[in-house]
A and B are shown apart, each in its own frame.
Chain A
Amino acid sequence: MSTATAPEPVVTGEDRLNLRGQTLPRWTPLAVAAGSVVLALLIYFVTPVDSEIQIVLMAAILFLIAMSAASTVVEGARRARDRFATTLVYTAFLLALIPLVAVLVSVISKGAKRLDLDFFTHSMNNIGARDAGGGIYHAIIGTVEQVVIASAIAVPFGLLVAIYLVEYGQGRISRVISFFVDVLTGLPSIIAGLFVLSFWVLALGFGFSGFAGALALVVLMIPTVVRSSEEMLKLVPNELREAGYALGVAKWRTILKVVVPTALPGIVTGVMLAVARVSGETAPVLLTVFGTNLINSNPFSGEQSSLPLYIYSQAGQPQQFAIDRAWAAALVLIIIIMLLNLIARLFAGRNRLK
């Protein structure tokens, strides 16, 4: 707190520089929002409007109008436009959150019921749809093995392709590769499953296995990994490459030790998106892994289960026990993907200096 009085402006009246502006108090948006909601509720009670969604919509529109009007009057047109745009952006943000929150709430509320130790330690051996109990042990093993194998193949391969495209490729070959990566990006996942089914499982006769599923997932992961890594590598400034070369470091080593580490956090994010995407794939896994109720921890021979397959088969049953199991498995799948994300971020963060 200061008791000193501000010096009198040297120039007063019309000639004064107009640097300040009238601003609405900081609580205005909140107050206007509250007013809009109250007004919308009033309208709801006195008129025959009868949907909750309409209240929300009405409140939003009232808020927009009132806020813009107040801002135009007090702050002028430019600020009012700014507020208008800000409101739209926040509204879009809230709208985008709705499905996310809705999914999380429903999966958690419905899935938490069966989330006991039994659920994690048991398979579906000898458990029919009508029976209580049963678990996802076999499905977790399957999902983890399939996704780990798929990532172990697709991530190094995709990263190498991206490095080739960004650091080495210039001519025809890189354009052709780029084109095929684009084609792969648009490939429906069931086609990847069909391809592995006809080629690996049937024609070559290897039969259903977790590994066959992993192969299908590889086909789906590669384009995502290539594209996202490519974008991240392109963002690395050329100056860093030149700095490496100028120290007498060979090109491949500069790429490995300077370029890739610089791009790593972004690459990890891209890889995680790819992993998250394939962890939830159902159709290609159905065609190549087939699914089973039993524990099979060998990914290289025999049918396995996986969480999406488990959810698919349980959710297809009319009995409440099966449906509860499906919800719980869905919750576990979400948790696993979030954990993977977290681990990857910690790992990437370790490489970033504080």
Chain B
Amino acid sequence: MATRIDVNGLTAYYGKFKAVADVNLTIEPKNVTAFIGPSGCGKSTVLRTLNRMHEVLPNARVEGEVLLDGEDLYGPGMDPVNVRRTVGMVFQRPNPFPTMSIRENVIAGLKLNGVRNKALLDERVEESLRGANLWEEVKDRLNRPGAGLSGGQQQRLCIARAIAVEPQVLLMDEPCSALDPISTLAIEDLITKLKSSFTIVIVTHNMQQASRVSDSTAFFSLEKTGDPGRLVEFDKTSKIFSNPTEKRTEDYVSGRFG
């Protein structure tokens, strides 16, 4: 099972500053959706509204709705903690917990939520690490610190940690920007593989990456600094990269912008 996301009239603020305005898009289940656009246009902001991570920052707030299988995340009575269990997230910079071993990192989400069953945890460690294509590399040193891995391995560890809690949706904010080309390919393969069980949204600055891994692409942009970012075009990835409707999209994906 994976989940469909409908974003309706979403506007996000940082205090008084309106960072993105009026975003409408639909993210299909078991699809990879890519967010592209110039720096500062609000890709990360929109991504973080999808699991209520936006409001973690002081004074940040959201207007509009985000429907997860029809249910509004921002509706009354919704618990952000439960939302985040359903919609997981991987960050730009790998951030394994420094006090925990590889094994503990993977099951951190489960353990911190009170799962004690050792057999289940052991099973989940292997399953998640295999899922993140990391098992073979670390199976002999599960009790070593997670921070001792290479950057690419750490990022896959973070992916393993995110999928260990079995979310429906996985949000990834530039997951490869700190990685070398080989680790990047490893993660792209992983995304293609994860697609069969999760709905995936990925922010990327890499056009090739967007066209390689995603089914749909959302192009965000902003008129000038100080203005809120907006969704310019949202369509099938093949359409965005070959025959976009908007001139601005075409300029951006072909490298002519300004």
Pair from one complex: yes
**A interface residues (Cβ-Cβ under 8 A, vs B):** 170, 237, 239-250, 253-254, 257-258, 261-262, 264, 351-354
The answer to whether the Cβ of B99 comes within 8 Å of any Cβ in the partner chain is yes
Contact of A247 among B56, B84, B144 (CB under 8 A): B84
- Chain B residue, CB-CB nearest to A260: B99
The answer to whether the Cβ of B58 comes within 8 Å of any Cβ in the partner chain is yes
Bin chain B's interface residue count. 20 to 34
**If A246-B53, A248-B84 touch, does A239 touch B93 (CB 8 Å cutoff)?**
yes
**If A246-B53, A248-B84 touch, does A353 touch B95 (CB 8 Å cutoff)?**
no
Complex contact A240–B88 (CB within 8 A):
no
- Chain B residue, CB-CB nearest to A239: B95
Give 19 A-B contacts (CB < 8 Å), ordered by A residue.
Answer: A237-B95, A240-B98, A242-B53, A242-B56, A242-B91, A243-B161, A246-B88, A246-B91, A247-B161, A247-B162, A248-B82, A248-B86, A249-B81, A258-B108, A258-B112, A262-B99, A351-B99, A353-B100, A353-B101
- Chain B residue, CB-CB nearest to A351: B99
Complex contact A248–B109 (CB within 8 A):
yes
Chief secondary structure at chain B's binding surface: mixed
Contact of A262 among B83, B98, B145, B161 (CB under 8 A): B98
**If A243-B97, A245-B53, A247-B88 touch, does A353 touch B58 (CB 8 Å cutoff)?**
no
Q: B36 contacts which chain A residues (CB < 8 A)?
A: none
Q: B89 contacts which chain A residues (CB < 8 A)?
A: 246
Residue from A249, A258, A264, A352 having most chain B Cβ neighbours under 10 A: A249
Q: A239 contacts which chain B residues (CB < 8 A)?
A: 91, 93, 95
- Chain A residue, CB-CB nearest to B110: A247
Complex contact B91–A248 (CB within 8 A):
no
Chain A nearest Cβ from B73, distance in angstroms? 13
Chain A nearest Cβ from B16, distance in angstroms? 17
Complex contact A246–B84 (CB within 8 A):
yes
Complex contact B99–A353 (CB within 8 A):
yes
Q: B86 contacts which chain A residues (CB < 8 A)?
A: 248
Q: Which B36-94 residues have a C-beta within 8 angstroms of A?
A: 51, 53, 56, 58, 81-86, 88-89, 91, 93
Contact of B112 among A247, A262, A352, A353 (CB under 8 A): A247
The answer to whether the Cβ of B203 comes within 8 Å of any Cβ in the partner chain is no
Q: B112 contacts which chain A residues (CB < 8 A)?
A: 244, 247, 249, 253-254, 257-258
Complex contact A248–B165 (CB within 8 A):
yes
Q: A264 contacts which chain B residues (CB < 8 A)?
A: 99
Q: Which B103-151 residues have a C-beta within 8 angstroms of A?
A: 108-109, 112-113, 144-145
A248 and B82 alpha carbons, distance in the complex (Å): 6
Complex contact B91–A243 (CB within 8 A):
yes
Q: A253 contacts which chain B residues (CB < 8 A)?
A: 112-113
Q: B84 contacts which chain A residues (CB < 8 A)?
A: 245-248
A258 and B83 alpha carbons, distance in the complex (Å): 20
Residue from B82, B97, B145 having most chain A Cβ neighbours under 10 A: B97
A170 and B59 alpha carbons, distance in the complex (Å): 11
Query: Besides A253-B113, A262-B99, A354-B145, 18 other CB < 8 A contacts?
Result: A239-B93, A240-B95, A242-B91, A243-B95, A244-B108, A245-B81, A246-B91, A247-B109, A247-B112, A247-B161, A248-B82, A253-B112, A258-B97, A258-B108, A351-B99, A353-B99, A353-B100, A353-B144
Residue from B95, B100, B101 having most chain A Cβ neighbours under 10 A: B95
Complex contact B95–A247 (CB within 8 A):
no
Q: A244 contacts which chain B residues (CB < 8 A)?
A: 108, 112
- Chain B residue, CB-CB nearest to A243: B95
The answer to whether the Cβ of B158 comes within 8 Å of any Cβ in the partner chain is yes
- Chain B residue, CB-CB nearest to A244: B112
Chain A nearest Cβ from B166, distance in angstroms? 10
Q: B144 contacts which chain A residues (CB < 8 A)?
A: 353
A239 and B147 alpha carbons, distance in the complex (Å): 14
